[in-house]
Amino acid sequence: MKMLINGEWIDKNEKIEVIDPYNGEVIDTVPRGTVEDVNRAISAAVEGFEISKKLPVHKRVAILRKTAQIVEEKMEEFAQIIAREGSKTIREARKEAYRCTVTLNVAADEASRILGETIAFDQAVGSENRRGYYYRMPIGVIAAITPFNDPLNLVAHKLGPAIAGGNSVVLKPATVTPLSALKLGEAFLEAGLPPKILNIVTGYGSEIGDALVSDPRIRMVSFTGGVEAGKHITKLAGLKKIGMELGSNSPVIVLADADLDKAVESSVSGAFWAAGQNCLGVQRIYVEKPIYEDFVKKFVERTKQYKVGPKLDEDCDMGPMITEKEAIRIEQWVEEAIKAGAKVECGHKREGAIYWPTVLTNVPEGVKVDCQEVFAPVVSIYPIEDLDEGIRKSNAVDYGLHAAIFTNDINKAFKAIEELEVGGVMVNDSTDYRVDAMPFGGVKNSGLGREGIKFALLEMTEPKVVMFNLDI
Ligand code: NAP
């Protein structure tokens, strides 16, 4: 596929191969964008902003709805692309393609609700007879940078609110999974988005990222990815808005009074969705001692039923990791934990990029799988004395995106809600529960700001105050 700059689909002699991580096949190529391409894309987006900021809301709504409709009509095609270029199974990919239509439709809804307020200027002595209000204006050119694990819907989470708010965009999708994003770009143009408002540059973040995020013509960097790149970008960006959706190592607390089967089923799915490469994925499970043995037994039984293999098979439960390098990394992290005393209950087997779903117990504090983000199909289960210990251990990390608690005691659930240091607490569901319209984001190293269209739209617009000094 080609990249989109200044309303044209651009090719280059230098290409990047897009590879199916399951079998190593080259699916397609994309141009290897350069700093010059980034500069041209930003220039085009600056011109695009002159168009986007004047687009009446009804036109923004029509474009977003039409794009959602195109994705819906081509749902299977989108799902096949997601499943081939990334890690997801075809069933997981279909859910993502469907969610993309929801995200775009919610963006269309929210475009009509960009609200302001009247202001009581006469609250200050000497400010009598002033009347006024504020309303929200687009901010300008937004640089959107997205990761590989939800290659379509996370792009929609940036483009939807950016366009709803009247901004223009330079998008840089993940290099390993650029095809879903380019296909979505095609859908936006087909839906009537004026050229120049959306520019998509493919290429390595390490080569073109700095030029994109440090350019003063960019008014906001909206980034989703790992904490390392996030910190680098934050330092470089300078005086502009920053949205950071970063990683986590989400905890689940299971209390003795919980519905055990529900807790097991939700947590297994939450741990191994997208081969564990999910910012919200279940990584650490703290189970009260009276039910610990039972929980581990059922969890391992359920995990062993997982069908791992060809992503496009309808009955496949889990595909490969995004690259063999990533599978080797997690294999080594688990080896480190084993050397320090961890017990492998199941999994810890690798073939190329496939790493079997792995359950660990006895994991000592401080090893990588315990305190860093595994971003792989590996989950650790720990016994706890009580809720207090569960909360203390859940909070004892640098991340805080989502947490979950399974209990039937409403008081304990509320205590957890109030004390867990995270952006969201799921009660009796997995940490990876999300609907696209809810506020989404984290605390600590998990990020800055919130997505979830209405909330991203607040970040992507800014208030303008209007005051009338009246003679009345
Ligand atoms: P990543 O390596 O940080 O890459 C994310 C994006 O940033 C890619 O497009 C990448 O480009 C680009 N990038 C890398 N270095 C850059 C730089 N110096 N300047 C500008 N852009 C740069 O993350 P990933 O491996 O794709 O995704 C996994 C991470 O994303 C995990 O930590 C996960 O938790 C996090 N994540 C967070 C959320 C959330 O909403 N909180 C959602 C999904 C994923 P290249 O591909 O060219 O390197």
Pick from 71, 349, 16: which is nearest to 183 by CA? 71
Mutate to test the pocket of ligand 1, among 103, 235, 244, 245 (most ligand atoms within 8 A of CB): 245
Token pair recorded at residue 8: 């044209």
* 3-state SS assignment for residue 193: coil
Say which of 110, 279, 345, 451 is annotated catalytic: 279
205 CB near ligand 1 (under 6 Å): yes
Rounded to 5 degrees, φ, ψ at 199 are: -125, 135
Say which of 245, 326, 345, 459 is annotated catalytic: 245
Q: What is the pLDDT of residues 406-460, one digit of tens each?
A: 999 999 999 999 999 999 999 999 999 999 999 999 999 999 999 999 999 999 9
- The average pLDDT across 339-352 equals 98
What is the full DSSP assignment across 282-322? EEEEEEEHHHHHHHHHHHHHHHHT--BS-TTSTT--B---S
Q: Give the pLDDT band (50/70/90) at residue 385.
A: very high
Q: What is the pLDDT of residues 100-152, one digit of tens each?
A: 999 999 999 999 999 999 999 999 999 999 999 999 999 999 999 999 999 99
Q: What is the pLDDT of residues 255-277, one digit of tens each?
A: 999 999 999 999 999 999 999 99
Whether 3-246+446-468 and 250-435 share one fold: the answer is no
Is 366 buried (19+), middle (13-18) or exposed (0-12) by CB count in 10 A?
A: exposed
439 CB near ligand 1 (under 6 Å): no
pTM: 0.98
The CATH number of 3-246+446-468 is which of 3.10.20.30, 3.90.550.10, 3.40.605.10, 3.40.50.720?
3.40.605.10
User: What pLDDT does residue 224 have?
Assistant: 98
Token pair recorded at residue 253: 């607390």
Rounded to 5 degrees, φ, ψ at 206 are: -65, -25
Can you give the residue ranges of every domain in the chain? Answer: 3-246+446-468, 250-435
Q: Give the mean pLDDT of the chain.
A: 98
Give the closest residue (by CA) to ligand 1 atom 20.
209
d(CA 359, CA 102): 34
d(CA 211, CA 33): 12
Pick from 450, 459, 439, 465: which is nearest to 164 by CA? 459
d(CA 221, CA 215): 10
- The average pLDDT across 13-33 equals 98
174 CB near ligand 1 (under 6 Å): yes
Q: Give the pLDDT band (50/70/90) at residue 306.
A: very high
Sequence-separated (6 or more) residues with CB below 8 Å from residue 445: 227, 246, 247, 398, 399, 400
The percent of residues above 90 in pLDDT, for the chain, comes to 100
User: What pLDDT does residue 35 have?
Assistant: 98
Give the closest residue (by CA) to ligand 1 atom 8.
174
Q: Which fold has domain 250-435?
A: Aldehyde Dehydrogenase; Chain A, domain 2 (3.40.309)
390 CB near ligand 1 (under 6 Å): no
Q: Look up 279 and say whether it is catalytic.
A: yes
243 CB near ligand 1 (under 6 Å): no
Q: How far is the CA of 250 from the centre of ligand 1 (A)?
A: 18
Q: Look up 389 and say whether it is catalytic.
A: no
